[in-house]
Amino acid sequence: MGVKNEKTPTTFEAFIDKSVKIGKGVKIYPNVYILGDSTIADGVVIYPNTTIENSVIGKNTVIKSSYIENSKVGDDVQIGPFAHLRPNSEIGDGCRIGNFVEIKNSKLGKGTKASHLAYVGDAVIGEDCNIGCGAIFVNYDGKNKNKTIVENHCFIGSNCNVIAPVHIKENSYICAGTTITVDTNKDDFVIGRCRETIKNNRAHNYWGNI
């Protein structure tokens, strides 16, 4: 099957369904579950505490302590630790899906990065985009799921709310802390913060007896 066996205690073995297809030079560490109709391409490394179900994993991808279900992952992708790819997610070549990132029913283009603490749901993201820490793709209005489109080379800053349906055009820059509800044009710079109010020497009034 092309799996390299590591010297590990027999009490921490991996579980691989008979239906799974595994390429050459694959490393599968202990406590990994690969289930259903999954395909693991050549050179993949799967670290402990990972579950892959009915998914395709491209060449030389590295997965750390993550859950991937009914999804497709390209070549040379870095996933985890603690990422979750929910059904119908498609991750392009060279992407980075970092810790505590959740992707659902979305497509990420080649080289796009969501490195930590983000949610991307019902979206199509282009190539070479950056999705900042704490960015949320707000896809549900309480009644319907809506779609977001982000074109190539866009920057979505930390703690942004992208409220669907919205279309962010190529080379747009969405500043950290912005809530965006309208479409952008190519090369737009978008900032949606309120300016802070500073009251000097007032903090002691609020500390009480702490």
Active-site pick, 116, 153, 167, 204: 116
Q: Measured between alpha carbons, how far is residue 32 from residues 27, 51, 81, 139 in Å?
A: 11, 6, 13, 31
Rounded to the nearest angstrom, the gap between the alpha carbon of residue 177 and the centroid of all alpha carbons in its chain is 19
Rounded to the nearest angstrom, the gap between the alpha carbon of residue 83 and the centroid of all alpha carbons in its chain is 7
Contact residues for 64 (Cβ-Cβ < 8 A; gap 6+): 47, 50, 79, 80, 81
Is residue 116 flagged as an active site residue?
Answer: yes
How far apart CA 104 and CA 81 sit, in angstroms, is: 17
**Residue that the structure tokens 């490195």 belong to:** 115
3-class secondary structure, 43 = coil
DSSP string, 3-58: EEPP---GGG--EE-TT-EE-TTEEE-SSEEEESS-EE-TT-EE-SSEEEES-EE-
| 131: β partners | 114, 156
Residues labelled as active-site residues: 116
